[in-house]
Amino acid sequence: MFESKVVIVTGASSGIGAAIAIAFAKENANVVLVGRNKERLNKVANECEVGVGKKLIIQADLTKDEDVERIVRTVVENYDKIDILVNSAGILRQTTLGDNNMMNVFDEVIRTNLRSMINLTRLTSSHLIRSKGNIVNVSSVGGSQILRSDFTLYAVSKAAINHFSRGIAIELGQHGVRVNIVSPGLTKTNLLLNAGFESLDVDLGVKAVLNKVAEPEEVAGVVLFLASNKAHSVTGSNYTVDNGCLLSR
Domain layout of the chain by residue ranges: 6-241
Q: Provide the mean pLDDT of the chain.
A: 94
Positive/negative CA dihedral, 233, 226, 55, 32: positive
Residues taking part in catalysis: 154
Question: pLDDT band at residue 42, thresholds of 50, 70 and 90?
Answer: very high
Domain 6-241 is of which CATH architecture? Answer: 3-Layer(aba) Sandwich (3.40)
The pLDDT, as a whole number, for residue 207 is 76
How far does Cα 54 stand from its chain's mean position?
21
The 3-state DSSP class for residue 163 equals helix
The pLDDT, as a whole number, for residue 246 is 87
pTM confidence score:
0.94
Positive/negative CA dihedral, 150, 156, 157, 161: positive
